[in-house]
Each structure stands twice: as structure tokens, then as C-alpha cells.
């Protein structure tokens, strides 16, 4: 165990420049992802009103949640959300990644920036934009529907399914760029010689994509 620790520190000392360059990611992850997660876990076992002392209550909060009459409906909504979001998100991410990977696409860098920009946009700004788009009375989407002779839709206060689709679209718009970036990185890691060899063998673009 001691030897492993020594070898680990030697490895870090040897490549300290590399670790220095990747450290911002881990620092940001620890501050904005890991710490809030641990803080939320602590709050789930505590009673706290935002000020004053925090009281440890064990599993009491979980007992209260399980007795809530809306818990089943909330779980159903979550499953429906995931059932629609995951397949559509993966499909759209792959399609956009293949599109952005085309060498014949002019301005590829601009398109990549446009697709990734929503991911780094503040969630508050995203919420404001989508409120302006899907507002029941003055939303731009309803104005477009009325302009072509269709009835407006109460997106946020009407049908529960309409509200779910708004949330799904919002989630896709905000997080799709990151998934596209992952798939795009995988596509670009494939050697171009493999594509050229497949085309020489007579494979179509569809066959190249699947195989």
C-alpha cells in the first residue's frame, strides 16, 4: 500500500503540468456538482428552514415523502419524462453529431458553437426564454399558431402533457450540446483511412454509419 502511494505521487510529480491543465475541471466539478450533491444528501436527513441551527431527524423526511399522496404521480411523471427524453435525446445527439462531422459542411466551427452554447447558458436565462416562447397569452409559439389560423395552446397551465413536452424540449435545448460533443468526439476519433477503405469496398454511407 505504501509503495502504491509513493508510485502515485511520483506519477503526479512527473506529469504535474498535465494534471495542472485538467485541474480546473475537477475543481469546478467538486464545487458545483459534488458539494451540492453532498449538501443535499445532508439536508435530506435534517430539518432546516434556511436559517438557524440544523437539526438531524434521520429518516423522518423520507417517511413524510412516502406518505405524500402525490408521490406515485410524481414517480409516474418522472418515468414518463425519462422514457421520452432518453431515446429522443440519444437519437437527436447522434444525428447532429453525424451532421457536424461532415467535412463538406461549411462553417462547421460556427455550428458546433451554436449547438453547444445553450449548455453553458444560465438556467435562469433559459427559463425566461422558454417562458417568452410558450406563454399562454403572449408566447411567440401561440402567436405563430394564430398567424396560420390555428388555436393557441395553454402550454404551461393547460394539458399536463403539453407542459411535459415543454419541459422535454427545454431539457433537450439546454443539454443536447454536451451529448452532441461526446458523440462528435467519438466520430472524430475514427481514422479517416477506415472510411476511405469502406468506400473503396463499395459501402454506402448508411452501411459505413452502422458498421
Contact 80, 86 (CB under 8 A): no
Residues 199 and 153 both lie in one domain: yes
How far apart are the C-alpha atoms of 96 and 179, rounded to whole Å? 10
Mean pLDDT of the chain: 82
- Same domain as 131, residue 203: yes
Q: Residue 148's domain spans which residues?
A: 69-211
Q: Which long-range contacts (CB under 8 A, 24 or more apart) does 191-198 make?
A: none
Q: Where are the beta strands (DSSP E) in 27-156?
A: 46-47, 55-56
Same domain for 61 and 73, yes or no, is: no
Task: Decide which of 67, 89, 107 is a domain's last residue.
Answer: 67
Q: Across residues 141-152, what is the average pLDDT?
A: 84
Residue pair 83/73 in contact (Cβ under 8 Å)? The answer is: no
Considering the domain architecture, whether residues 58 and 4 belong to the same structural domain is answered as yes
Q: Tell me: do 104 and 144 sit in the same domain.
A: yes
Instruction: Label residue 39 by pLDDT band (50, 70, 90).
Output: very high
Identify the three-state secondary structure at position 36: helix
Within this chain, do residues 124 and 203 fall inside the same structural domain, yes or no? yes
The whole-number pLDDT of residue 41 equals 92
For the segment 75-96, the average pLDDT, to the nearest whole number, is 88
What is the average pLDDT across 85-99?
Answer: 87
Three-state DSSP at 59 gives: coil
Query: Nearest 5°: CA angle at 108, between 105 and 113?
Result: 150
**What is the reported pLDDT for 211?**
66
Please indicate, yes or no, whether residues 144 and 201 belong to a single structural domain of this protein.
yes
pLDDT at 5 (0 to 100): 63
**Res 202: pLDDT:** 76
Residues 40 and 19 in one domain: yes
Judged against a pLDDT cut of 70, whether residue 3 lies above it is answered with no
pLDDT value at position 2? Answer: 54
Quick one: how far is CA 200 from the chain centroid? 38
pLDDT at 35 (0 to 100): 92
Are 37 and 87 in the same domain? Answer: no
Looking at the structure, do residues 59 and 94 belong to the same domain, yes or no? no
pLDDT greater than 80 at residue 120: no
Give the C-alpha distances (Å, rounded to integers) separating 121 from 42, 115, 124, 128, 170: 28, 11, 8, 12, 12
Give the model's confidence band at 4: pLDDT under 50 very low, under 70 low, under 90 confident, else very high. low
Amino acid at each position: 500500500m505504501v509503495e502504491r502511494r509513493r508510485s502515485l505521487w511520483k506519477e503526479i510529480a512527473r506529469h504535474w503540468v498535465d494534471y495542472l491543465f485538467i485541474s480546473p475541471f475537477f475543481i469546478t466539478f467538486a464545487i458545483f456538482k459534488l458539494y451540492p450533491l453532498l449538501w443535499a444528501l445532508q439536508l435530506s436527513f435534517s430539518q432546516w428552514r434556511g436559517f438557524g441551527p440544523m437539526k438531524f431527524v434521520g429518516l423522518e423526511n423520507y417517511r413524510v415523502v412516502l406518505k405524500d399522496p402525490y408521490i406515485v404521480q410524481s414517480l409516474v411523471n418522472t418515468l414518463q419524462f425519462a422514457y421520452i427524453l432518453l431515446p429522443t435525446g440519444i437519437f437527436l445527439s447522434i444525428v447532429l453529431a453525424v451532421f457536424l462531422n461532415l467535412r463538406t459542411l461549411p462553417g462547421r466551427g460556427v455550428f458546433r458553437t451554436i449547438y453547444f452554447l445553450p449548455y453553458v447558458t444560465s438556467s435562469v436565462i433559459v427559463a425566461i426564454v422558454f417562458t417568452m416562447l410558450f406563454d399562454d397569452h403572449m408566447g411567440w409559439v401561440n402567436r405563430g399558431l394564430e398567424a396560420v389560423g390555428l388555436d393557441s395552446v395553454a402550454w404551461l397551465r393547460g394539458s399536463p402533457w403539453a407542459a411535459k413536452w415543454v419541459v422535454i424540449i427545454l431539457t433537450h435545448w439546454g443539454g443536447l450540446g454536451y451529448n452532441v460533443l461526446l458523440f462528435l468526439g467519438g466520430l472524430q476519433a475514427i481514422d479517416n483511412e477506415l472510411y476511405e477503405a469502406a468506400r473503396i469496398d463499395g459501402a454506402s454511407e448508411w452501411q459505413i454509419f452502422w458498421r
